[in-house]
Amino acid sequence: MTVIDQIYQGDKSVAPPGHPRIIALANQKGGVGKTTTAINLGTALAAIGERVLIVDLDPQGNASTGLGIDRRNRNCSTYDVLIGEAPLRDAVVPTAVPRLHIAPSTMDLSGLELELGNTRDRAYRLRDAIAALNNNVEPPLDYTYVLIDCPPSLNLLTVNAMAASDAILVPLQCEFFALEGLSQLLQTVEQVRSTLNPNLSIHGIVLTMFDSRNNLSNQVVADVRQFMGKKVYDTMIPRNVRISEAPSYGKPVLVYDLKCVGSEAYLKLATEVIQRERELRTTH
């Protein structure tokens, strides 16, 4: 029995069959815990019963590496999907975590913008690939969540993610200049909403690398909550050495050390994400 199976106690999904919730993790600032959150939120959602696909859209491929996918074995990647050479299902591989799959990336993604040029559908490549995920597939890949790990920039890859998504989740580091660039990201979301995806929303902002002993961390939390209100999740991800160590072993922190405060925080965040989904479904 895996550590994930120790947590799982039956299907708790709130997503309707065949209609996964698609959430892009985006922030054009690097080093904010975006990929770490994609890996560990995906793992935590799977641990409590969701069926999760992570789509790695970052050419660095750290989400893929952090889930133990060897760079030498990425024969089909999200690059192949976005240039139209393979369906998304061909890129999907299982991870060591039950109910968690990933479509890995390679450095080839860094040349995608040049590759696609002014192709008319270039902003919708990922949306169409996800929509076609279950075409002629038996049994269907019945995911309840698709999490997209975006690169740390507002380029064509991030626009593809936003055009494909129901909502954006923004990791925000509890450090000086945390709010710098957030307004630009929110403007980009508005532009995508008005031109490419009218249903796109902000799912929430998760504060990462929080240190309760640090006055600056506490001030950033207060400022972000004042600025963004209820969009900020109650759960904060603490600075935790186990979170930092886990990727070097190709493991999510929940697999690396289930009992650490980092694992506890991501499980709480997953529960909060699901609770927001329930609230959304009861109000629509």
Amino acid at 179: L
> What's the whole-number mean pLDDT along residues 38-46?
98
Digit-coded pLDDT (tens) for 92-150: 999 999 999 999 999 999 999 888 988 889 999 999 999 999 887 777 778 999 999 99
257, 246 in Cβ contact below 8 A? yes
β 100-103/93-94 pair status: antiparallel
Predicted structure pTM score = 0.92
Digit-coded pLDDT (tens) for 177-215: 777 778 888 999 999 999 999 999 999 999 998 887 888
Among candidates 138, 134, 142, 135, which has minimal Cα distance to 11?
142
Digit-coded pLDDT (tens) for 255-277: 999 999 999 999 999 999 999 98
Q: How far apart are CA 171 and CA 175, in angstroms?
A: 12
Q: Give me the phi and psi of 56, to 5 degrees please.
A: -85, 110
Considering the chain, what is the average pLDDT of its residues?
90
Digit-coded pLDDT (tens) for 63-77: 999 999 988 878 899
If you write DSSP's letter for every residue of 95-162 in order, what string do you get?
-SSTTEEEE---GGGGGHHHHHTT-TTGGGHHHHHHHTTTTT-SS----SEEEEE--SS-SHHHHHHH
Amino acid at 267: L
- Identify the three-state secondary structure at position 185: helix
Higher local confidence (pLDDT), 10 or 279: 279
pLDDT in the model for residue 216: 82
The CA-based angle 237-203-60, given to 5 degrees, is 65
- How far, CA to CA in Å, does 284 sit from each of 276, 277, 278? 12, 11, 10
> What's the whole-number mean pLDDT along residues 33-47?
97
Check residue 75 and report its DSSP letter: S
Segment among 15-24, 156-165, 258-267 with least mean pLDDT: 15-24
Amino acid at 88: L
Higher local confidence (pLDDT), 247 or 283: 247
pLDDT at 6 > cutoff 80: no
Q: pLDDT > 70: what percent of the chain?
A: 93
253, 247 in Cβ contact below 8 A? no
CB atoms closer than 10 angstroms to residue 26:
25
Map out the domains of the chain with their CATH numbers: 20-283 (3.40.50.300)
Q: Is 77 left (phi over 0), alpha (psi -120 to 50) or beta?
A: beta
pLDDT in the model for residue 284: 59
The DSSP H or E segment spanning 93 is: strand 93-94
pLDDT in the model for residue 28: 85
pLDDT in the model for residue 139: 74
Q: Give me the phi and psi of 149, to 5 degrees please.
A: -90, 110
Residues in the chain: 284
pLDDT in the model for residue 244: 94
If you write DSSP's letter for every residue of 26-47 in order, what string do you get?
--SSSSSSHHHHHHHHHHHHHH
The DSSP H or E segment spanning 196 is: none
> What's the whole-number mean pLDDT along residues 39-50?
97
Among candidates 245, 241, 233, which has minimal Cα distance to 261?
241
Cis peptide upstream of residue 59 (ω within 30 degrees of 0):
no
Q: Is 106 left (phi over 0), alpha (psi -120 to 50) or beta?
A: beta
pLDDT in the model for residue 86: 96
pLDDT in the model for residue 90: 94
Name the token pair of 133: 């995920």
pLDDT in the model for residue 13: 56
